Structures are given as structure tokens and as C-alpha cells.
């Protein structure tokens, strides 16, 4: 029980930490780091599901019978690269916000918005 589900609990803990950073911190870059943590926890979740006891990497070779599940690997592989692309996009937005508002703290940005209204 403890060993069997340990990975999933770690996943939940990581996910919650990332979630906490995203909702509780005002700094946009920190939020992006939080999103990255969240994202990685999802990756770990998928990869944990794909693990098979006694299996090895899904590359066919002679004399090996049991492989771990290749499908989640594929999904996560592409997700990682897409993740970096979206992170880059988010960072680009942050840079533009910094240039437009002079700050990347959420509260300052909101103050400026309120003044403009």
C-alpha cells in the first residue's frame, strides 16, 4: 500500500505545491515556475502509470520479454516540447507586460489598470 501508491502521492504533493505558487504568489515569473512544477508532476504521473514491474525500456532487443508501456512515453515526450514552447510564449508575454507596466507584480499591474479606468 505504502510503496504501491507512493509515487502518486508525490505527484499530488508536487501538483499542490505548483498550484499554491500559482494562486498565492504575485510575481509572474514565479507563477511560470509554479506552472512548470505542476506540469512536471503531470509528466511524472503518466510515466509512473507506464511503469511495469520487471519491464525495461520499450526498445525491442533479443531476450527481453516485458516492456513498459510506450504510449504514455510518447504523449509525455511531445508534451515536454510543447510545454517549453508555451513557457517561452508565457515568458514573452511577461517581458511585454514588464515593458508596458514597468512591473511584473500582479498588484502593481492591477493598480495601474484601475488608475487608467
Partner 1 sequence: MLIGATLAVFVVMTLAIIRGIMGSSLYDRILAVNMFGTKTVLLIALLGFIMGRPEFLDIAIVYALINFITVIGVLRYSDSAAFKQPAEEKRPEEL
Partner 2 sequence: MTFLVGIAIAIVWMKDLIAVVMLAGIYGLLSASFFVAMDAVDVAFTEASVGAGISTLLMLVAITITGRSEQTTRHKPALAFFVVVITGGLLIYGTIDMPYVGAVDAPIQVHVAPRYINDSMQEVGVPNIVTSVLASYRGFDTFGEAVVIFTAGIGVLTLLPMVRSRKSDEAIESLNESMHERHMVVRIVAKILIPFILLFALYVQFHGDYGPGGGFQAGVIFAAAIILYAILFGLPAARRVINQSFIQFVAAFGVLLYGSVGLVSLLNGGNFLDYSVLSADPIAGQHLGILLIELGVGCTVTSVMVIIFFHFAGRKEGKQSMKEEETR
Cell of 13: 504533493
Query: Which entry of partner 1, partner 2, none binds 32, CB below 5 to 8 A by partner kind?
Result: partner 2
| 30 torsion bin: left (phi>0), alpha (psi -120 to 50), beta (else) | alpha
For 98, half-sphere exposure in the C-beta direction (CA atoms, 13 angstrom radius) is 10
- Cβ proximity to partner 2: between 4 and 63 the closer is 4
Tell me: does residue 83 bind partner 2 (CB under 8 A).
yes
5, 12, 24, 57: which one binds partner 1 (CB under 8 A): 57
Q: Longest C-alpha distance within the chain, in Å?
A: 71
User: Is residue 100 part of the contact set for partner 2 (CB under 8 A)?
Assistant: no
User: Mask 24-63, x = binds partner 2 (CB under 8 A)?
Assistant: xxxxxxx-xxx-xx--x--xx--xxxxxxx-xxxxxxx--
How far is 81 from 28, CA to CA, in rounded Å? 21
CA 34 to chain centre: 8
Which of partner 2, partner 1, none sits in contact with 101, Cβ below 5 to 8 A by type?
A: none
Candidate residues 59, 60, 81, 116; the one interacting with partner 1 per rule CB under 8 A: 59
78 binds partner 2 (CB under 8 A): yes
CA-CA distance, 21 to 68, in Å (whole number)? 33
Interacting residues toward partner 1 by CB under 8 A: 56-57, 59, 61
Amino acid at each position: 500500500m505504502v510503496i504501491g501508491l507512493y509515487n502518486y502521492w508525490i505527484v499530488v504533493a508536487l501538483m499542490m505545491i505548483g498550484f499554491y505558487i500559482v494562486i498565492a504568489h504575485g510575481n509572474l515569473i514565479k507563477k511560470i515556475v509554479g506552472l512548470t512544477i505542476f506540469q512536471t508532476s503531470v509528466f511524472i504521473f503518466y510515466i509512473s502509470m507506464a511503469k511495469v514491474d520487471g519491464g525495461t525500456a520499450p526498445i525491442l532487443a533479443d531476450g527481453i520479454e516485458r516492456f513498459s508501456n510506450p504510449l504514455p512515453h510518447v504523449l509525455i515526450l511531445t508534451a515536454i516540447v510543447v510545454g517549453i514552447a508555451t513557457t517561452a510564449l508565457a515568458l514573452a508575454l511577461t517581458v511585454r507586460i514588464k515593458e508596458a507596466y514597468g512591473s511584473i507584480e500582479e498588484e502593481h499591474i492591477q493598480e495601474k489598470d484601475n488608475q487608467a479606468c
